[in-house]
Chains A and B, each alone.
Chain A
Amino acid sequence: MAASSSVANASASRWGRLLQNPSSGALALVMVLAIAMSVAFPGFATGVNAGNVANQMVFVLLLALGMTVVLITGGIDLSVGSVMGLSAAVGAYVILSGVPLIFGLVAAVAAGAFLGWINGLMITRLGLPDFIATLAMLGVARGLLFLWTNGVPMNGYMLPEYYVIAGLQQPFGFITVPILLALVAVLAIAGMLKWTSFGRHAYGVGSNPQAAQLSSVPVTRIKVQAYVVSGLMAGLTGMLMAGRTSTVAPTMGIGYEIAAIAAAIIGGAALTGGRGTAFGAVVGALVLSITANAINISGVSSTWQQVVTGMVLLVAVVFDRVSSILRDRSTRLKTRLAHT
C-alpha cells in the first residue's frame, strides 16, 4: 500500500508542486489570455509588444516587490502611490536646483526610503495599526505634494542622461535601464528573502509575531526595515516614472497602491502575513500589465480592465485556497503514511 502510493506520488509530485505554487493559477490564466490574444490580434505576439509590456510593468513590479516584503512581515503599505509621487517631485526639485543629475536620482530614492522609515516608526514606536499609519501617509504625502506644487506639474528637469535612465532612449534595444534595474531589484529582494537573517526573520514575524518576539527576533527592526524597503522601491519607481513621463504631475501614482497590492496578492503573498516571494511579484505584475495591454490592443472598453483585474485577483486567490487545501491533504496523507 505504502509503495504503490509513493509511486503515484512521485509521478504526480511535479504537477502537485506546480499546483501548490500560489502564483501558478495566475500564470496559467495569463498564458491563456496571451494565447487567445496572439490568435485574435496579430500585433500582440510581437517583439515590440513584448518590449512594451516589459517596460510598462516595471513600475508596478517595483512597487509590488516592496509590497511583498511588507506583506510577508504581516503589514500593508497603502502609501506607496503617494510616496512615489512625492519622491519624484523631490528628485525633480533637486535636479532643477542645478546639481548633477545623480544627486536628484539619489534624492528621489532617499526620499522614498525616508518616508518608508517614518511609516515603520509610526507602526512600531507609536503602535499604530499598519493600515492606519500608511493610510495617513497616503493622505499626508499626497497633500504635501499638492500644497507644494499648487497642482502645477514640474517640468524642465529632463537632462539628456535622464532619457536613457528612464528608458525613453534605448541604446540596447528593448532592454532598457528600467528593465535592468527591475531585474536587479528582483534578484536583490529574492536574495534578501532567502539568504539574509532579515529574510528568515521576516517570514516568522509575519506568520506569528508573538512566537517571533518570544524567540528574540528583533520584530521592531524587521518591520521598520520592511517599510524602508517598500518606501525605497516607491522612491525608485517615482524616479523612473518622472523620467518616463518627463513631468511630475501632483497626481502621479494615484491608484498605484492598489495595483501593487493586487500584484503581490496574485503573486501569492497573503494579507495575513508570512507568505510571498519576489518571483510571485513578477508574476503578479506581469498579469496586470498583460491584461492592460490586451485591453488596449483589443479596443475593449477600459471599464473592462477593472472587471478583468478583479476577476484575475479572484481566480488567483481561489486557486490559492484550493492549492492550500491540496497541500494540507497531501501533508496529512504523508504523516499518516509515515505512521503506518
Chain B
Amino acid sequence: MSAPENTRKGGYSRRNVLAQMGLGAGLLAGTGLLSACSTVSTSTASAAGAGGSGGAASAGGAAYDAEIKKLVNGRTLQLGWTPPILSEWYDQMEKAAFGRMAELEKAYGVQWKWERSSPTGNFDAVEQQISTVRGWTSRKFDAVLVCTGANFATMQSVYRQAEEAGTKVFQFNQPVEIYPEEEVVTVSNIGYDNRWQSGYLAGNFIAKTLGGKGKIIQIMGPSGSDWAKARKIGFEQALKENPGLQVVGSADGGYVRDKGLNAAQDLLTRNRDVNAIYGENEDMALGASQAVDAAGLKQWDGTDGVVIVGADGLVSGMDAIKAGKLTATIDVGSVDQGRTFIDTIFRSIVLGETVAKIIEVPTRVVTKKNVDAAKAYIQGNMKPSKTY
C-alpha cells in the first residue's frame, strides 16, 4: 500500500498530463485492472493500475483478507450520497459505486445502507442539498458524499457541523482545485483536476488535431460555476501554448443540449470557417454537433471538417463518437470516482487509515480509436451485482 501522502498533488504538472495523454490507452488498461480486483485496492486508481495484481485477492493476500474481515466484524455503514442533479453521468457513477460496495461486502462482510437525494430542479437548487446534509448529520450517518454547486464557504461550515456531530464528509467530482487545500474541511475529495485533466486536455487535443492552427468556438457552462472556471483555466493555458489557435466566438450553453445547439447555431452564422468547437460538457458538444450538421458543414473525419470536443464520458457520448457525431470527449472517470470513493470511505472509516485529502482519478481523451474500450469499461460497471 503506498503512503497516501504521496498521492497529494499540489499542482498537476502539465508535462505530466501530456505524457498521460500519450499513454491514454495504457491508463485505460491500468484502470481496467482495478475493476478486475475484487478486494481492497489502493486509494488512487492510477497507483492500482501501476501495481495492480489483477487477481482475486488483494495485495495483502488471503491471510490479510481474513484479518480485515475480523476487523470489519459485520459492521454496517450508513451512507448518504447527494449529487447536484440526477443525470446519466451520476447514474454511471452510482452504479459503479454499487458494484464496489457489493465486492467489499462479499469479501469482508461490510454491510451498506445507501440513501440518495438530489435536487430535481437545476444545478442552482443548492438549499435542498444543504438541508439534506444537515438531515443526514442529525440522523447520525457514518458518511455523506457531496457534490454541489453551492458556495464554497457555506459548504465548509455545513461540513464542519457534520464533522462535529460525528458524520464524516467526503466530496466527489467537486472542483476543489481552485480553492486553497487547507480551507477544504472534508476528509477527502475524490475527483479530478478540471484544469489539467479536462480543460487543458481538450485544448491540447484540438491543437494536436488541427496542427496547432485554427479557429475555435467555445460553448461554455453557466458563467460563475466552479467547473466552468476551472476548466477554463486549463483550456486557456492550452491556447496560450498554441498561439495559432484563435477563439472566434464564445457563448453560454447552460450545460444543456438545446441551449448548446442554439448557441452553436448562432455562432456558426458568423463563423462558417470555424475549425473546432469546444463544448465544455458532452450535452452541449452534442448540441453543437447537431448545429454543425444543420449548417451543412462537415464534421471531422480524420483529415478535415469541424473538430467537436466535449467532456464527461457518458455512454451516449461514446455512442456519438462511434457514429462520427463527436470527434472526442474527455472522460473524467465516472466509474473510477464511484469505485474510489467507496474504497476511500472503507479504508478511512472502517480501517481507520489516513487518506489523501485530494484524490484524483485518471481522465482520458476518448476518440474513435479507443472509444470501444472506454465504453466497455463503463458498461462493465452498469449492472452491479447488487443495488442498495
Listed in ascending order, the chain A residues whose CB lies under 8 Å from chain B are 41-44, 46, 48-49, 52, 56, 59, 142-143, 146, 149-153, 155, 168, 170, 241, 244-247, 249-252, 254-255, 292-293, 295-297, 299, 301-303, 305
A297 near B266 with CB under 8 A, answer: yes
* B86: Cβ under 8 A from any A Cβ: yes
Across the A-B interface, give the 9 residue pairs with the lowest CB-CB distance, nearest first: A151-B86, A302-B252, A43-B270, A296-B266, A296-B251, A245-B257, A49-B269, A43-B269, A146-B120
Task: Pick the interface stretch among B64-72, B286-294, B334-342, B364-372.
Answer: B286-294
Which residues on A sit within 8 Å (CB–CB) of B269?
43-44, 46, 48-49, 52, 297
Within B76-122, which residues are at the interface with A (CB < 8 Å)?
85-88, 90-91, 118, 120-122
Given A46-B269, A151-B118, A303-B223, A251 and B91 touching (CB < 8 A)? no
A14 to B67, CA, bound (A): 92
Contact of A254 among B87, B122, B250, B266 (CB under 8 A): B122
Interface size of B by CB at 8 A reads: 39
Majority SS at the chain A contact face: loop
Within 8 A of A (CB), among B273-309: 283, 286-287, 290, 293-295
B223 cross-chain contacts in A, Cβ below 8 A: 301-303
* B384 at the A interface (CB under 8 A): no
Cα distance, A292 to B294, chains bound together (Å): 19
Chain A contacts of B328 at CB under 8 A? none
Q: Which of B88, B91, B224, B250 has the most CB of A within 10 A?
A: B88
Residues in B neighbouring A255, C-beta threshold 8 A? 122
Per-residue A-contact encoding for B258-276, CB less than 8 Å = 1, 0 else: 1001110111011100000
**A292-B262 Cα distance, complex, nearest whole Å:** 9
Q: Is the CB of A41 within 8 A of B261?
A: no
A256 nearest CB neighbor, chain B only: B258
| CB pair B90 A151 closer than 8 Å | yes
A254 touches B121 (CB 8 A): yes
Tell me if A52 and B266 are in contact (CB < 8 A): yes
Interface centre among A49, A52, A250, A252, by most B CB within 10 Å?
Answer: A52
- B316 interface contact, C-beta 8 A: yes
- Contact residues in B for A149 (Cβ distance below 8 Å): 86
Which residue of B88, B254, B262 is within 8 Å of A152 (Cβ)? B88
Q: Is B256 among interface residues, defined by CB-CB distance under 8 A?
A: yes
Q: Given A150-B86, A302-B252, check contact A297 B270 (CB 8 Å).
A: yes
Q: Is B249 an interface residue (CB 8 A)?
A: yes
Contact (Cβ within 8 A) A151 B85: yes
Beyond the given pairs A59-B258, A296-B267, 4 more chain A to chain B contacts, judged by CB atoms under 8 angstroms and listed by A's residue number, are A168-B293, A168-B294, A297-B249, A302-B252
Binding site for A on B (CB under 8 A): 85-88, 90-91, 118, 120-122, 222-224, 249-252, 254, 256-258, 261-263, 265-267, 269-271, 283, 286-287, 290, 293-295, 316, 319
CB distance from B261 to the nearest CB of A (A): 7
A151, B262: Cβ atoms under 8 Å?
no
Q: Is the CB of A245 within 8 A of B258?
A: yes
B262 to A, closest residue via Cβ: A56
CB distance from A318 to the nearest CB of B (A): 28
Q: Closest residue of chain B to A251, judged by CB?
A: B256
* Contact of A150 with B91 at beta-carbon distance under 8 Å, contacts A292-B262, A296-B251 already known: yes
Q: Which residue of B lies closest to A295 (CB)?
A: B251
- Decide: B266 and A49 in contact? CB cutoff 8 A: yes
Contact between chains at B87 and A152 (CB < 8 Å): yes
| Interchain Cβ contacts under 8 Å between A and B, 9 examples | A41-B270, A150-B91, A151-B91, A250-B87, A251-B122, A255-B122, A292-B262, A297-B267, A303-B223
Q: Give the Cβ gap from A149 to chain B, nearest Cβ, in Å.
A: 8
Q: Which of B118, B256, B261, B265 has the most CB of A within 10 A?
A: B265
Find the residue from A155, A241, A254, A303 having the highest chain B CB count within 10 A: A254
Which residues does chain A contribute within 8 Å of B88, judged by CB atoms? 151-153
| Contact partner, B265, options A42, A52, A142, A152, Cβ 8 Å | A52
A-side contacts of B91, CB under 8 Å: 150-152
Set of chain A residues within 8 Å of B87, measured between Cβ atoms: 151-153, 249-251
Once A142-B120, A143-B120, A299-B250 are accepted as A-B contacts, the answer to whether A293 and B85 lie under 8 Å apart by CB is: no
Closest residue of A by beta carbon distance from B252: A302
Residue numbers in B under 8 Å from A302 (CB-CB): 222-223, 251-252, 254
Cα(A297)–Cα(B90), bound, Å: 33
Quick check: B316 and A153 within 8 Å, CB to CB?
A: yes
Contacts known (A146-B120, A245-B290, A255-B122); A299 close to B249, Cβ less than 8 A: yes
Q: Which of A150, A249, A296 has the most chain B CB within a 10 Å cutoff? A: A296
Residue of A nearest to B261 (CB): A245
CB distance from B198 to the nearest CB of A (A): 21
The CA of A56 and the CA of B287, in the complex, are separated in Å by: 13
Q: Which residues of A contact B251 (CB under 8 A)?
A: 295-296, 299, 302
Known A150-B91, A247-B257, A251-B85; contact A42-B270, beta-carbon cutoff 8 A: yes
- Within the assembled complex, what's the spacing in Å between the Cα atoms of A247 and B319? 13
Closest to A253 in B: B258
Shortest Cβ distance from A39 into chain B, in angstroms? 14
Q: Is the CB of A296 within 8 A of B263?
A: yes
Cβ 8 A contact of B287, one of A152, A170, A245, A301: A245
Inter-chain CA distance A305–B222, complex, in Å, is 12
The complex places the Cα of A45 from the Cα of B379 at a distance, in Å, of: 47
